[in-house]
Structure 1
Amino acid sequence: MIFIEVALDLPLNTLFDYQCDEATPDDIGRRVKVPFGRDEKVGVILNVKDHSTLPLDKIKKATTLWRDVPPLSEEILRLLHFTSHYYQHPLGPVVLHALPPALKKTNDWQAPKKRSKAINVAVTSAPQLNLEQRHACDEINQHDDEFRIWLLQGITGSGKTEVYLELVRQTLGRGKQVLILVPEINLTPLIEQRFQARFPATGMVSLHSGVGEKERAQRWIDVASGKIQIVLGTRLAIFAPLDHLGLIIIDEEHDSSYKQAEGMRYHARDLAIMRGQYNAIPVVLGSATPSLESWWNAKQGRYQLIKLTERAHQGATLPDIQLIKANLKHDSPTLSLEIIHAIEERLTKGQQSLIFINRRGFAPVLMCNQCQWLATCPDCQTRLVVHRRQQRLRCHHCNYQRPIDHHCRQCHSEDLTTLGEGTQKIEESLQELWPKARILRIDSDSLQSKSWATQIQDIHAGEVDILVGTQILIKGHDFPKLTLVAAINVDSALYSSDFRASERLFTQLLQAAGRAGRGSDKGQVLIETAFPQHPLFEALIDHDYQRFADNELEERRLFGFPPFCYQALLRGSATELSPLQQFMREAREALKRLSYEDITLFDVVAPTLHKIGNKYRLQLLLQCHSRPLLQQALSQWSDYLFTHAPHSVNWVIDVDPIDC
Structure 2
Amino acid sequence: MPTVVRVLVDLPRHSRLAAGALDYLEPPGSEPAVPLAPGTLVRVPLGKRQVCGLVWPHGEHGERSDGEAPPMDGLKAITEVLSALPPLSTAWLRLVAFAAAYYQRSPGEMALAVLPPELKDIDAAQLERRLRRLHKGLKAAAPEAAPEAAVADARPFRPDLSPEQAEVLRQLALGEPVTSLLHGVTGSGKTEIYLREAERVLAQGRQVLVLVPEINLTPQLEARFAQRFGASRLRALHSGLTPAQRLQNWLAAHLGHADLVLGTRLAIFAPLPRLGLIVVDEEHDPSYKQQEGARYSARDLAVYRGRLEGVPVLLGSATPSLETWLNAQPLGEAVQGRAQSRYRRLAMPSRIGAGALPAVKLLNLAEVVARHGRSVLYEMPIAPPLIERMKQCLARGEQSLVLLNRRGYAPVLHCTSCGWKSQCSQCSAWRVFHKIDRTLRCHHCGSVEPVMRSCPDCGDMDIQPLGRGTERLEEQLGALLPEARMARIDADTTRTRGSLEEQLAQVHDGHVDVLVGTQMVAKGHDFRRITLVIALNADAALFSQDFRAPERLFALLMQAAGRAGRDAEQAAASEMWVQTWHPSHPLYQALQRHDYVAFARSQLEERQIAGLPPYTHLALLRVEARDQASAQAFLQAATELAEGLDGTALSAGELLLYPPVPAQVQRVANVERVQMLLEASSRAVLQRFLSAWLDVLQAQRAALPKVLRWAVDVDPVSI
Alignment of 1:32-431 (within 5 A): 32-47=42-57, 55-107=71-123, 108-109=126-127, 110-111=129-130, 124-142=156-174, 144=175, 146-200=176-230, 203-299=233-329, 300=338, 301-312=341-352, 314-326=353-365, 331-431=378-478
Q: Secondary structure at the match of 2:634?
A: helix
Give yes or no for the alignment of 1:574 onto 2:625: yes
Tell me the distance in 1 between the aligned counterparts of 2:167 and 2:186. Answer: 18
1:482 corresponding residue in structure 2: 530
Q: Name the % identity.
A: 42
1:244 positional shift: 1.6
1:285 positional shift: 0.6
1:612 corresponding residue in structure 2: 668
Contact 1:386 1:392 in 2 (8 A): yes
Contact 2:40 2:83 in 1 (8 A): yes
Give the one of 24, 32, 36 matched to 1:18: 24
2:611 corresponding residue in structure 1: 560
Q: Deviations over 1:262-289 (max 9, x none)?
A: 0100000100000000111211110000
Q: Which amino acid in the other structure matches residue 69 of structure 1?
A: L
Cα–Cα, structure 1 residues 321 and 293, in superposed 2: closer, same or farther, change >3 Å? same
Q: Which amino acid in the other structure matches residue 528 of structure 1?
A: Q
Larger radius of gyration: 2
2:146 corresponding residue in structure 1: none
2:513 corresponding residue in structure 1: 465
Alignment gaps of 5+ in structure 2: 144-153, 330-337, 646-650
Tell me the distance in 2 between the aligned counterparts of 1:548 and 1:615. Answer: 39
Q: Secondary structure at the match of 1:247?
A: strand
Alignment gaps of 5+ in structure 1: none
1:649 positional shift: 2.7
- With structure 2 as the length reference, what TM-score do the two structures score? 0.88
Give yes or no for the alignment of 1:523 onto 2:582: no
1:200 positional shift: 2.1
Q: Which amino acid in the other structure matches residue 311 of structure 2?
A: I
Contact 2:403 2:516 in 1 (8 A): yes
Q: Deviations over 1:1-26 (max 9, x none)?
A: 11211111112333211111427445
- With structure 1 as the length reference, what TM-score do the two structures score? 0.96
Give the one of 648, 652, 657 matched to 2:711: 652
Name the stretch that deviates more: 124-133 or 285-294: 124-133
1:514 positional shift: 0.5
Q: Secondary structure at the match of 2:673?
A: strand
Contact 2:628 2:674 in 1 (8 A): no
Q: Which amino acid in the other structure matches residue 302 of structure 1?
A: R
Contact 1:259 1:267 in 2 (8 A): yes
Cα–Cα, structure 1 residues 518 and 53, in superposed 2: closer, same or farther, change >3 Å? same
Tell me the distance in 1 between the aligned counterparts of 2:515 and 2:652. Answer: 53
Q: Secondary structure at the match of 1:191?
A: helix
1:202 positional shift: 6.4
1:78 positional shift: 0.2
Tell me the distance in 1 between the aligned counterparts of 2:699 and 2:393. Answer: 64
Tell me the distance in 2 between the aligned counterparts of 1:539 and 1:393. Answer: 39
Contact 1:70 1:221 in 2 (8 A): no
Contact 2:493 2:499 in 1 (8 A): no
Aligned residues: 656
Give yes or no for the alignment of 1:446 onto 2:493: yes
Tell me the distance in 2 between the aligned counterparts of 1:402 and 1:361. Answer: 14
Contact 1:25 1:47 in 2 (8 A): no
Contact 1:19 1:60 in 2 (8 A): yes
Contact 1:202 1:230 in 2 (8 A): no
Q: Which amino acid in the other structure matches residue 258 of structure 2?
A: I
Q: Secondary structure at the match of 2:303?
A: helix
Tell me the distance in 2 between the aligned counterparts of 1:227 and 1:55. Answer: 42
Cα–Cα, structure 1 residues 410 and 198, in superposed 2: closer, same or farther, change >3 Å? same
Q: Which amino acid in the other structure matches residue 171 of structure 2?
A: E
Q: Which amino acid in the other structure matches residue 104 of structure 2?
A: Q
Cα–Cα, structure 1 residues 368 and 52, in superposed 2: closer, same or farther, change >3 Å? farther
Q: Secondary structure at the match of 2:606?
A: helix
Q: Secondary structure at the match of 1:210?
A: coil
Tell me the distance in 2 between the aligned counterparts of 1:596 and 1:390. Answer: 58
1:304 positional shift: 1.1
Q: Secondary structure at the match of 1:608?
A: strand
Tell me the distance in 1 between the aligned counterparts of 2:690 and 2:671. Answer: 25
Tell me the distance in 2 between the aligned counterparts of 1:525 and 1:644. Answer: 57
Name the stretch that deviates more: 191-200 or 407-416: 407-416
Tell me the distance in 2 between the aligned counterparts of 1:494 and 1:592. Answer: 36
Contact 2:641 2:693 in 1 (8 A): yes
Contact 1:25 1:48 in 2 (8 A): no
Give yes or no for the alignment of 1:542 onto 2:593: yes
Tell me the distance in 2 between the aligned counterparts of 1:162 and 1:559. Answer: 39
1:457 positional shift: 1.8
Tell me the distance in 2 between the aligned counterparts of 1:563 and 1:134. Answer: 32
Q: Deviations over 1:448-493 (max 9, x none)?
A: 1352222222211111111110011111111111111011011111
Contact 1:478 1:515 in 2 (8 A): yes
Tell me the distance in 1 between the aligned counterparts of 2:617 and 2:504. Answer: 40
Contact 1:579 1:649 in 2 (8 A): no
Contact 1:569 1:657 in 2 (8 A): yes
Contact 2:411 2:468 in 1 (8 A): yes
Alignment of 1:562-641 (within 5 A): 562-594=613-645, 595-641=651-697
1:243 positional shift: 1.3
